[in-house]
Structure 1
Amino acid sequence: MMVRVIVSVGTNIDPERNLNKCRAILDTEVGILGEAEVIQTAPDGYQNQPDFLNGAYLLSTDRPYDEFNQYLKNVEERLGRVKGPIKSGPRCIDLDIIIWDSQVVHDDYTQNKHYVVVPVNELLEQHAIELAT
């Protein structure tokens, strides 16, 4: 059974290039059904770093949640992501599942993180997706 998934994307290391590479991989390997407008945001947490570019993609998969999440972590690694000592520090790409089959599954959305909520809500509205309560 296919489920619709909204994945947030963020980057502040060579952001235009990394967003383009990420988008190309996801579109080729999964197929992008929709994408939110990219927004520029100030860092959250650790401040001594460049601003981020953030967006979101609507995807569809028949993989189980854990397998799809591992696939996204693999895409991050393929794009050169190395997790540093600062959790909210600079990154070449960050992919997080926010909505899985109409369910909110990530705290950044429930905690109203602007850089996640704005792009995700844009996709929810564009594609008439109602969240389960």
Structure 2
Amino acid sequence: MVHVFLGLGSNVGDRARNLFSAHDHIITTKGIQPLRLSRFYETAPIGGPSQPMFLNAVLSMETVLSPHQLLDRFQSIETAMGRIRSVKWGPRNIDIDILLYGDEIVDDQQLKIPHPLMHTRLFVLEPFVEIAPGVVHPVFKKTILQLYKERQASLLVTT
């Protein structure tokens, strides 16, 4: 079993219900054992067009599925839940991102793990710190807590 962390987000419709529904679809997938779901965090959208506030969470799980099997499953869940990909970083009822897959690094046209922007996004780092502050990012070799504190500090300097 590999320890995996997912980012969940929604800013269209009943956001909390969307996150719970995605969670339910994920944890009922054969080969996935859920461990912990963070609280939901309301965050402002970053990039893309003007859009409503997001709810974000991080889910910890263990799995026997490969990264690409997970990607296929999560994209199927998003589609089944009605996600339409029309605008990059646009509004969405559900977004499921693979943040970390153990300490593996995947870099191909379909999938990038660790998620390439996770270390820059407080809406990922804050819920991640809640459930697993000591997990080490396999590229930066820093804990999630260290990355979170560094990101917070960098925002204070630029404001």
Partner of 2:20: 20
Query: TM-score, structure 2 length as denominator?
Result: 0.74
Partner of 1:82: 84
Tell me if the contact between 2:33 and 2:62 (Cα under 8 Å) persists in the aligned partners.
Answer: yes
Provide the secondary structure at the position in 2 that maps to 1:107: coil
Tell me if the contact between 2:10 and 2:18 (Cα under 8 Å) persists in the aligned partners.
Answer: yes
Q: Kindly state the Cα deviation for residue 31 of structure 1 after the two structures are TM-superposed.
A: 3.4
> Number of residue pairs matched?
128
Q: Kindly state the Cα deviation for residue 18 of structure 1 after the two structures are TM-superposed.
A: 0.8
The 5 Å alignment of 1:4-43 reads: 4-14=3-13, 15-29=15-29, 30-43=32-45
Unmatched 5+ residue regions in structure 2? 105-112, 142-159
Give the counterpart letter for 1:93 in structure 2. Answer: I
Partner of 2:135: 129
Taking only the aligned residue pairs, the percentage that are identical comes to 27
Partner of 1:99: 100
Q: Specify whether residues 123 and 102 from structure 1 end up closer, same or farther in structure 2 by C-alpha distance, changes over 3 A only.
A: farther
Question: In the TM superposition, what whole-angstrom CA distance separates every residue of 1:77-102 from its partner, at most 9, and x where no partner exists?
Answer: 11111101x21110010001001103
Tell me if the contact between 1:102 and 1:129 (Cα under 8 Å) persists in the aligned partners.
Answer: no
Tell me if the contact between 1:9 and 1:96 (Cα under 8 Å) persists in the aligned partners.
Answer: yes
Mapped partners of 1:118, 1:47: distance in 2? 23
Q: Kindly state the Cα deviation for residue 47 of structure 1 after the two structures are TM-superposed.
A: 4.6
Partner of 2:144: none
Give the counterpart letter for 1:39 in structure 2. Answer: Y
**C-alpha RMSD over aligned residues:** 1.6
**Larger RCO (CA within 8 A; separation ≥ 6):** 1
Tell me if the contact between 1:31 and 1:59 (Cα under 8 Å) persists in the aligned partners.
Answer: yes
Mapped partners of 2:79, 2:26: distance in 1? 14
Question: In the TM superposition, what whole-angstrom CA distance separates every residue of 1:27-50 from its partner, at most 9, and x where no partner exists?
Answer: 222332111111000111125211
Tell me if the contact between 1:12 and 1:50 (Cα under 8 Å) persists in the aligned partners.
Answer: yes
Unmatched 5+ residue regions in structure 1? none
